[in-house]
Amino acid sequence: MKTYKVDLDYEASLFDPRYDEGSAASLKVIREFEYVFFLINQEACHLKNIKQYDDNYLKHLKSLGFSIPSFAPDEKAFTYWWSHRHERELEKELNSKLTSVEIAKERGWGFWQGKIAESVEDVLSHLKTHPNIKHWIIKRPHSFSGIGHYYFSADQVNVETLKKILVEKVLLEPVYQRVFDIGTTFIIHNGEIKRQFMVENFNSQSGGFKGGAGASNVDKFKKYIQEKYHFSLNELEKITLEIARVYLNKGALFNVQIDSFVYQEEGRLKLYPLVEVNYRKTMGLVIQSLADKYSEAHHVEWKVLSSKEVTNEMDSWIKVSPEGNHFRSFYKAFLNCPT
């Protein structure tokens, strides 16, 4: 049987020149979310675990139908699980936001009023080109979950702050009035698409991941979104397939997830098809794994909350995170349309 290691620090290993696999920062994020392995994986295997798990917690997950591996924390030979490590330079290209925004701009799938900025002068010049846009965001090309995003107003530009940020190429874009976020995953084996699924991602205002909702198939999920937001995902379903094929042509061999959102402008809902692409596993796999377990449900929701955010409402939800975690997670299957 294979032994896996949950490498949630994968993107740091690709892009952070100071990356250290054994650093406190890497171990912290893995200890916090290593358990997602139990929620997704169905293969009989060993896990080179970083965190120790209470027997009662593991029995709880087994009772819910999840597969628990045998543990091998000291194993030296293992396969990384979160990532697709097969060609480092290609992986850096496919995971970079610079790649996705260039594709979006070229194909008309997003980044319409955005700019890849390399200097303060680039930023100031671009703001003058769009005098009617008041609120902007700068994203670092290798950030994730909203970490490192910088929001500012066009009439309150802090040049010194921009100088500190612009030590590399960054993405400058207007702030949209986002209504909901969608992650579309393509399960790919040896360069062939085997499955497409879509989930709604619950994100904080700063882009931090807070969980999501999914259904057992794409048609049921599109119905969930139509009923909840009165918006059709038919166009997005087709566009994301085109995006996936672009990434296949670039050399993708395994899973890709495409992030999109729907925003409000002048009282209308509009589609922003391509924000970024993740060439690795994502939390969308957790949401879909839960949805697959409840095929009879209208939809399933998974919430990830800090300990301070947990309220009595969660008493009716099923907890799946270990005791002692700062972030607690719960899921619930819904039989009817959300209100």
Give the C-alpha separation, 253 to 255, whole Å. Answer: 7
Helices (H), the chain: 10-15, 24-33, 36-40, 55-63, 88-95, 97-107, 120-129, 159-165, 218-229, 234-250, 284-293
Distances 44 to 8, 38, 54, 158 between C-alpha atoms, Å: 21, 11, 20, 54
Lookup result for tokens 């696999």: 21
Q: Write the CB contacts of 249 (distance below 8 Å, at least 6 apart in sequence).
A: none
Residue 322 in contact with residue 58, Cβ under 8 Å? no
Sign of CA dihedral 41, 47, 52, 53: positive
SS3 call for 188: strand
What pTM was estimated for this model as a whole?
0.94
Q: What angle do CA 135, 137, 140 make, to 5 degrees?
A: 170
**Quick one: pLDDT at residue 218?**
97
Give the C-alpha separation, 317 to 276, whole Å. Answer: 31
**Buried (b) or exposed (e) across 250-267, using 16+ Cβ within 10 A?**
eebbbbbbbbbbbbeeee
Q: What angle do CA 204, 223, 61 make, to 5 degrees?
A: 60
Helices (H), 116-233: 120-129, 159-165, 218-229
HSE toward the beta carbon, residue 124, CA cutoff 13 A: 11
Give the C-alpha separation, 16 to 186, whole Å. Answer: 27
Q: Determine the length of the chain.
A: 339
HSE toward the beta carbon, residue 204, CA cutoff 13 A: 13
SS3 call for 333: strand
**Quick one: pLDDT at residue 73?**
97
Q: What angle do CA 213, 219, 222 make, to 5 degrees?
A: 50
Instruction: Specify the amino acid at residue 138.
Output: I
Give the C-alpha separation, 68 to 44, whole Å. Answer: 8
**Quick one: pLDDT at residue 304?**
97
Give the C-alpha separation, 3 to 80, whole Å. Answer: 9
**Quick one: pLDDT at residue 145?**
63
**Could you count the other beta carbons within 10 Å of the beta carbon of residue 238?**
10
**Quick one: pLDDT at residue 339?**
60
SS3 call for 277: strand
Residue 77 in contact with residue 2, Cβ under 8 Å? no
Q: Write the CB contacts of 300 (distance below 8 Å, at least 6 apart in sequence).
A: 213, 214, 215, 287, 290, 291, 293, 294, 331, 332, 333, 334
Lookup result for tokens 């050399």: 251
Tens of pLDDT along the chain (339 residues) come to 999 999 999 999 999 889 999 999 899 999 999 999 999 999 999 999 999 999 999 999 999 999 999 999 999 999 999 998 999 999 999 999 999 999 999 999 999 999 999 999 999 999 999 999 999 999 988 876 667 789 999 999 999 999 999 999 999 999 999 999 999 999 998 778 999 999 999 998 777 899 999 999 999 999 999 999 999 999 999 999 999 999 999 999 999 999 999 999 999 999 999 999 999 999 999 999 999 999 999 999 999 999 999 999 999 999 999 999 999 999 999 988 766
